[in-house]
Structure 1
């Protein structure tokens, strides 16, 4: 079996994200939060902000410590419950997009400072970012357990793949992902305002 070089995967991923950005602005997943397992699995993949958040969570976990993934899971549960109960935040879509930028900026910390990172503060920031997205899911979801299992499975797959890739990535690729998340989150935040 031939292995595909990371450089080719990077360009293919960048092209795919670019096409997704063009087709998904401002956000494409919202309004599709009903149905069963397949609908739940597709929900976090159809909204560019959700997809980029999951990539950022996995990447931040790879760079700053796998404990961040537990904080993300906690934020997902709290945000989903809050949204299912009808809770909402002003400008939630803008906050969701800005949380993607926040993860990108978090990843841009200098390498020498990553070891000194305050895990509780960093974990709380990641949890809050995920909670905003999960709240939006909760507001739109039908409440079907199959839908939630599908959404959880797809979210774990994307964050896990991102974690594994960034764990082995070169500093240059990490920088590219960080900058991509930071800039794209900002563009997504501006899209609803235009």
Structure 2
């Protein structure tokens, strides 16, 4: 994990130019940025840690609101520094898991939705250069959903002996990566 963090650059998935487009390119895109991958896994992991109804709500809200962020990016609506928002998403979501924070349902949904805007915006600003923006969008939404499911899968160990420690430890590692991304974004 540490070697991947050292070699990774923040927001590597958000290159902004020359996207080939299409379903396959969109599907592989979220895996090209460690920051995006960690945030997506963290959404599923936090949802699994919190249980019902958030195990379902968080992974549904994120891609839905990410699409809104994408539309804002396509439209060129100005936002605060997007890479800062993405770095904060990794840090905050990891910290929520590590700290076993159990906010009310509405607040957990709001936190995830705010960060989804930034992730979607980063993708939206890239879409106009893609040859097939619809296929590309479908691909990255599908990959995002699979990363959420992976996080849920890891989070399911919480019910096993020592599982809560494993899940919270994973959250701490995610938060540490988020701190590093934040340093790079500033």
* Interval of TM-score (by shorter of Structure 1 and Structure 2): 0.7 to 0.9
Alignment-derived partner of residue 11 in structure 2: 27
1:133-158 CA-to-partner distances (Å, cap 9, x unmatched) read 11101011236111111111111111
1:16-61 CA-to-partner distances (Å, cap 9, x unmatched) read xx33322321331122644212211111111111011101111011
**Segment drifting more, 171-180 vs 82-91:** 82-91
Alignment-derived partner of residue 70 in structure 1: 60
1:90-136 CA-to-partner distances (Å, cap 9, x unmatched) read 321012101111101222344xx73xx31111101011112111110
**TM-score of the pair, normalised by structure 2:** 0.85
Are residue 188 (structure 1) and residue 174 (structure 2) matched?
A: no
Match of 1:118 among 104, 110, 114: 104
What RMSD, in angstroms, separates the aligned Cα atoms of the two structures?
A: 1.8
Q: Given the superposition, is the C-alpha separation of residues 39 and 158 from structure 1 closer, same or farther in structure 2, using an over 3 Å criterion?
A: same
Q: Given the superposition, is the C-alpha separation of residues 27 and 20 from structure 1 closer, same or farther in structure 2, using an over 3 Å criterion?
A: farther
**TM-score of the pair, normalised by structure 1:** 0.81
Alignment gaps of 5+ in structure 1: 1-13
CA–CA distance in structure 2, aligned partners of residues 68 and 140 of structure 1: 25
Alignment-derived partner of residue 175 in structure 1: 168
Q: Secondary structure at the match of 2:114?
A: helix
Alignment gaps of 5+ in structure 2: none
**Matched ranges for 1:20-99 at <5 A:** 20-31=4-15, 33-64=19-50, 65-66=54-55, 67-99=57-89
CA–CA distance in structure 2, aligned partners of residues 173 and 33 of structure 1: 37
Query: After TM superposition, where is structure 1 displaced by more than 3 Å over at least 4 residues in a row?
Result: none
Q: Secondary structure at the match of 2:14?
A: coil
Matched pairs, number? 173
**Matched ranges for 1:154-173 at <5 A:** 154-169=143-158, 170-173=163-166
